[in-house]
Structure 1
């Protein structure tokens, strides 16, 4: 039975050793400073719970803030004093003052425009360049950097840090003995502390001008740091470093869920300031109306995005852009996501039950195991979205969808149903969009060669009959691109199949038309598939599904021969004796095998040459072509490990396999080739 901690005072409690608190009830509990690191909190209820810092930690952090405020005030006052040296009677001091002023102005400008990291880079660059100035004032400049530039940066960071920590609501700040202020009002209090301290320090200077500039420097630093703090806490990415440091500082000693499993946990209206969620599993956790979610330490979870946090708390994401965001496992149940954009986003395992996704852009959105039960998808753009067999589509409400993103020329691209007067009936959309699962997607993005596609696919089906390849869809993409989808057996390695297919296809593309025809002439199946692909490419829009059963191709047994005379002209093919003699010459140029009992390339090719010449099943024209390929292998064998020679060998072996395809199994050439070709390929480093 799940444990019940509801309403209890659990401040500082350590649950780290208790590995399983699944389903526990922590509603309305005080969990400030509690440690849940590494605990299984699946389905736990933290609604209305209060997380964050214990009072003793608040006091400690406030003391640190006060020290930082005082230090920053002193440093800014010192910068003001250095700038006041402009009015000094000493020429050396004047240079120091002017250089300090220039560095401060440049630092302010760069930091505001490009962020604190850019400001740091400027200071580092200035310091490095100071020593290289080719004039007598180099020493003065270096001094200025050391005292003005470095302190300017240190003061800015320290003060911005202090102010931002205050803004983050770490706790109360005590002023004049006893004043407690939290939230954004602390900005003014911290600024006042810095100003008062700076004024006190500045008053110690005996020179009136120096004191005035010290006060001015403190005021300028206060305003500058306050602005940087405000931008950082607003989520400005330029100042993310400041925010990250502050959040980490403010979460020290706070509630920790680091490494915990919070799958389906409920944080409805919980207060989550200064809470650590690093490395936490947050699949389908509920954050509805959670308070101070922007003050948590999110790590790499989806909570790091300010717009996502706002969506989780309010449930309002209409017209928002979440393109390419990692939202895996997010809980957006009943959220308003109408007109939102999720192009390229990962919503796998997300809870989108009853969410309104009307007109949402779901192009290339990953939806593996996503729960869309009862969601509204009317008018959504679902181009290349990634639903799987685990995607739940039960009860989806959808009247129509678009298969492409809209353009000015076509605001309603590929509407389904096609008839604008029709809409999907209840339940029809799920049946219409149900994907073809376990498919091998072969996307050809340029210069499609239909014949090479047909041959390569046939070769793949023959090589892997266990994959049970069956073409179920072909779709034209653009002017000369095509996607071929083949159904595969469960458990097939699609990555390996795709790699082998395109490896073979790319080799076939470089063959001449004559060489390709030699591989195709005896196969009606290949010609039919080639014709279908050619037709698909010639049509403005072409999509076929289930028309071609290619599982038969894997069992093709080609018998007989075809008359292919005339391919090389009207005269007969060159005399076989001449060709065979040329092959022998090429073979004789190869070295003998170093070990008699282990034949090398020369010996293997000689056996293959003899088998081809003596075969009674291979027509003369094809014998000539096969011997030409043996000759190519012999020439490549002179340097078998050189990349271009390996490519030549691979093409020749592919051609020979095609020429021998369909010969009767009783043919000795078939048996010999099955042994010789793999051995030859291995010597070329091809397998």
Structure 2
């Protein structure tokens, strides 16, 4: 039975390393300062729980803030003192003595503008450079003035950093929920202000340094306001303050709730308060963050919560029409999320929970979906070009009327719609059956200039390093001028993500080698040369062949007469051989319904007999066998809707092509006899006779 801690005060409790907390109930519990490091909290319920800092840690942080304020005060007072020594005199203010004050205010303005538009790190660099230039420029006035301005620059930069930290840490502590903390923070800021005032009085020498009072007082006031503004930007996770955000996150998580290295698979943090909480290196697979509070003030390390758009998505589950391209969303819980019209191009959604999610019209080009749960999800109108589904992708109950196999363009807003007939839609369960033949393929997509030799070597290395994957190339496809897809079958259970990463690591290294270095690697390998030639030819051909693609019927992009035998490169199989083509034909035929009459063959049975006759023929050349099988496949695709006019035209063309291929064979050939019997029967079922 799972342990029940619901509603309890667990502040500071130590659960470190405990393995008996699977499914435990911590709902509505106060877990501030609790330590769950290395614990197993799979399926635990933390809904409405309150995590974060205990009060004594808050007091410690306030003390830290005062120390930082004291340092700022010291720097300010020291700068004021130096100003008086160098620029003010009892006799009066000379014209040139106004220059340093003007310079400081101008640079302060530059610092504020750069901080707002480019971030703290850039602003610090810019202001340091500006002070150096200003110091060099004043050499014409006095060496002492130049040294002073350079000194002021160093002090200003250091002061600016600490002001930002004070604003951010102080602001983070202010975001507490009880009145005690608010009062403590208010008092600390009162003391900070007093510090600045004392420094001002000490440095000004009232009565003799009016200018010092004006411009150094303004420095303190504007600096304090800037600190609060920067602190606010940091707290709302503005992307321009990454370095300081990371520092602040570490500081305010000290003494907070720790889930470091914890197994939080399928844990539930619905409406939990998570400020000052450490999630570094935690397993967050399928963790529920729905409406979690103050998650942006947690320390998340390199988990998927690192990116603010991902945090917002898992909290609100509202991603409609938003861009998540190239983001790592591996293992996220987006159950029932609204992701309509969202873009996930090249994103990693492997192992994610997308049950009942709305992915209507979503862009899923090259999206990794290995072991992703799409049960009950809506995919109508989605763009699934080169998406990375596998045999572990769950598609049970997917709602999908139609999909597009390419991204839309202005010229073609509905590219490669499936089903092809715009008046047709997938029936319940049809989409999973339609997409099933490509579940077990490894798609190696090259989106820049392709090096055929590097492709050949990298694939051979991958096949030899992973014989258990049983890699077999089934398709090569040229896309545009410099894009290329290599598709290979894999054994069930193969880790396609790992295989793809290993292949491209090797490929990129090989591509960087000189031609002479590459030649040394293939000096004694005819197999690599054969594959290299095939890739080169595929890139030169306007036609292509891909498994399951019903819009093309030519394999000239990959089939090279006399050089197609590269047996042994991919688990002992030949590339684009008749066995592969025949296998694709079998897939298409098997998708047809069985004949309703046991004693009377239908399209499925007749095409199966025709396929056997072609593959077993000893009179038909290999190249013409391949073409004949492609026509049988076209008939199988058309056989799904044999009474539709466009399908009838396809069938008529295919039958005519087959008759032409068989016309030159001897009359006594077994294939001719079979064709004379089968083709008229097939034509009749299509309503062509």
- TM-score tier, shorter chain, comes to 0.5 to 0.7
| Shift in CA distance, 481/170, structure 1 to aligned 2, threshold 3 Å | closer
Q: Is the 8 A contact 1:381 1:404 kept in 2?
A: yes
* Partners of 1:70 and 1:461 in 2: CA distance: 64
- Judging changes above 3 Å, is the alpha-carbon distance between structure 1 residues 305 and 189 closer, same or farther for their aligned structure 2 residues? farther
- In the TM superposition, what is the alpha-carbon distance from 1:216 to its structure 2 partner? 1.7
**Kept in 2: contact 1:294–1:309 (CA 8 A):** yes
Counterpart of 1:137 in structure 2 is: 142
Q: Aligned partners of 2:304 and 2:390: how far apart in 1?
A: 23
Measured after TM superposition, the shift of residue 214 of structure 1 is 3.0
Counterpart mapping for 1:23-422 below 5 A: 23-69=23-69, 71-72=71-72, 75=75, 89=92, 96-97=100-101, 99-122=103-126, 124-125=128-129, 137-146=142-151, 148-169=152-173, 180-181=181-182, 194-204=192-202, 205=204, 206-207=206-207, 208-422=210-424
Distance 1:144 1:435, change over 3 A: farther
Question: How many Å separate the matches in 2 of 1:305 and 1:396?
Answer: 29
Moved more, 60-69 or 5-14: 60-69
How far, CA to CA, are the matches of 1:17 and 1:467 in structure 2?
A: 37
Structure 1: unaligned runs, 5 residues or longer: 511-518, 521-525, 558-687
Gap change, CA 1:416 and 1:120, over 3 Å in 2: same
Aligned to 2:182, the other structure's residue is in SS state coil
User: CA shift at 1:76, angstroms?
Assistant: 5.0
2:170 is paired with a residue whose SS is: helix
Q: Provide the rounded CA distance (Å) in 2 between the counterparts of 1:466 and 1:113.
A: 53
Q: Aligned in 2, Cα 1:494/1:77: closer, same or farther, shift over 3 Å?
A: closer
Q: Which moved more, 1:407-416 or 1:251-260?
A: 407-416
Question: Contact (CA 8 Å) 1:336, 1:355: kept in 2 or not?
Answer: yes
Q: What CA deviation, in whole Å up to 9, does each residue of 1:425-449 have, x standing for no partner?
A: 1111111112535546677889999
TM-score with structure 1 setting the length: 0.66
Report the CA distance shift for 1:424/1:83 in structure 2 as closer, same or farther (over 3 A).
farther
Structure 1 pair 127/442, CA: closer, same or farther in 2 (3 Å)?
A: closer
1:385-406 per-position Cα deviation (integer Å, ceiling 9, x unaligned)? 1111111111111111111111
Instruction: Give 1:355 shift.
Output: 0.6
Distance (Å, rounded) in 2 between the aligned partners of 1:339 and 1:73:
53
Cα-to-partner distance string for 1:302-353 (whole Å, 9 max, x where unaligned): 1122222122221111111111111111100011111111111111111010
Preserved CA contact (<8 Å) 2:163 2:227: yes
Distance 1:138 1:121, change over 3 A: farther
- After superposition, residues 418-433 of structure 1 pair within 5 angstroms as 418-433=420-435
Alpha-carbon contact 2:478-2:538 (below 8 Å) kept: no
TM-superposed deviation, 1:61: 1.4
Deviation at 1:230? 2.2
CA deviation map 1:48-74 (0-9, x unaligned): 111111111112212322443454456
Residue 18 of structure 1 aligns with which residue? 18
Alpha carbons of structure 1 residues 435 and 71: separation in structure 2 relative to 1, 3 Å: farther
Aligned to 1:601: none
Question: 1:151 offset after TM fit, Å?
Answer: 2.5
- For residues 642-682 of structure 1, the C-alpha deviation after alignment (integer angstroms, 9 at most, x for no partner) is xxxxxxxxxxxxxxxxxxxxxxxxxxxxxxxxxxxxxxxxx
- Aligned in 2, Cα 1:290/1:172: closer, same or farther, shift over 3 Å? closer
Q: Secondary structure at the match of 1:169?
A: helix
| Alpha-carbon distance, 1:34 to partner | 0.5
The RMSD of aligned alpha carbons is 4.8
| Paired residue secondary structure (1:107) | helix
1:210-230 deviation per Cα after TM superposition (whole angstroms, max 9, x unaligned) = 223332222211222222222
1:78 touches 1:214 (CA, 8 Å); kept in 2? Answer: no
Q: Is the 8 A contact 1:198 1:218 kept in 2?
A: yes
Cα 1:260–1:269 change in 2 (3 A) is same
Q: Is the Cα contact below 8 Å between 1:130 and 1:142 reproduced in 2?
A: no
Once the two structures are superposed, residues 446-503 of structure 1 have per-residue CA deviations (whole angstroms, 9 ceiling, x without a partner) of: 99999xx99x999x999x9999776644544236866454435667997899989x99
Counterpart of 2:654 in structure 1 is none
Distance in 1 of aligned mates of 2:155 and 2:29 = 46
Looking at structure 2, the residues matched to 469 and 145 of structure 1 have their Cα atoms a distance apart, in angstroms, of 65
Give the distance between the partners of 2:7 and 2:467, measured in 1 at CA: 64
Relative distance call for 1:269 and 1:535 in structure 2 (3 A) is closer
Please tell me whether the aligned partners of residues 83 and 97 of structure 1 are also in contact (alpha carbons under 8 angstroms): no
Check conservation: 2:447, 2:482, Cα contact below 8 A: yes
- Structure 1 range deviating more: 313-322 or 156-165: 156-165
Measured after TM superposition, the shift of residue 556 of structure 1 is 11
CA shift digits 1:99-126 (9 cap, x unpaired):
5445444433433332221233245546
Q: Secondary structure at the match of 1:168?
A: helix
For the pair shown, the structure with the greater C-alpha radius of gyration is 1
Over 3 Å counting, the alpha-carbon distance change for 1:281 and 1:466 in structure 2 is closer
Alpha-carbon deviation of 1:16? 1.2
The number of residue pairs the alignment matches comes to 531
Distance 1:403 1:191, change over 3 A: farther
CA contact (8 A) 2:16 2:39 kept: yes
Q: Aligned partners of 1:449 and 1:324: how far apart in 2?
A: 24
C-alpha separation in 2, matches of 1:535 and 1:68: 63
C-alpha distance 190-429 of structure 1, shift in aligned 2 (>3 A): farther
360 and 169 in structure 1: CA distance in 2 versus 1, 3 angstrom threshold:
farther
Contact 1:439/1:485, CA 8 A, preserved across alignment: yes
Distance 1:457 1:278 in 2: 36
8 A Cα contact 1:325 1:345, kept in partner: yes
Alignment CA distance shift 1:408-1:81 (3 Å): farther
Q: Distance in 2 between matches of 1:56 and 1:378?
A: 54
Check 1:360–1:191 CA distance in 2 against 1; reply closer, same or farther (3 A cut): farther
